[in-house]
Structure 1
């Protein structure tokens, strides 16, 4: 069966089978409350590859952070020690509804579906500076969030965003 956005939820795996589970379940890193853990939907290898290929086929990252002229507007934020509140506020002001489900792609084997509000709340568990490039999308590609490994976040959009 080929994977698409209509059936991707059939490829959710248990958190205990997810390679990056330690980010969310290990007290040494971050142990999320069960009510939040239950909302994280890790994806199997096939679904992770589907998202990776979907992003690659769009040529989204042909230039850093995004292909030239892919988006009308690109906003940027820098992650620094001690500016977590500012980053959460910046993410909140991207204009997405808090309950919107977004797709996270670290690489061709690690991906997840999460509510936008949890990505905001725990962004520093989803993204580890200097080691991660994390692309966050919805299926429209009308906007994309890139956590770049140099502690920069880019948000590209073709819509005017207003704080909600």
Structure 2
């Protein structure tokens, strides 16, 4: 079971990211099924002020010990990711599949896009969140995150990003 006080911390996270880590809120990423190391790294960077986050989340991890962060990461990593995808647009899906393979996204995120170690799970992630994040990377505004993504998205246009986001959001 969890250490004393962890349940209330999980409830606070779950208010936006979903009780089981599957976000129902537009623009808020799902945490369920993310690699534990990825979650730990992101929470530590957020706690230390090294990663840019929405204003409503600032300060929420202040005072969290490393042990608490590890427990939270372990909880969400152990949850089953559930896609929040809308209706599939077959044209966008096929384009996104092609672009993702050409861009070698599966090299880091694995061929099934479930992530590993410090690489996030992008399969089944919220479409609008994926698009927002790729736009941030492309414009080099994803502070505190892997800079290899800036190079990976270099030269992609808006239609490319929309197709990739749609494709990935449809995966399980």
Q: Which has the larger radius of gyration?
A: 2
Common fold: TM-score over 0.5: no
Query: TM-score, normalization: structure 1?
Result: 0.33
Q: Which has the higher helix share?
A: 2
Q: What TM-score does the superposition give when structure 2 sets the normalisation length?
A: 0.32
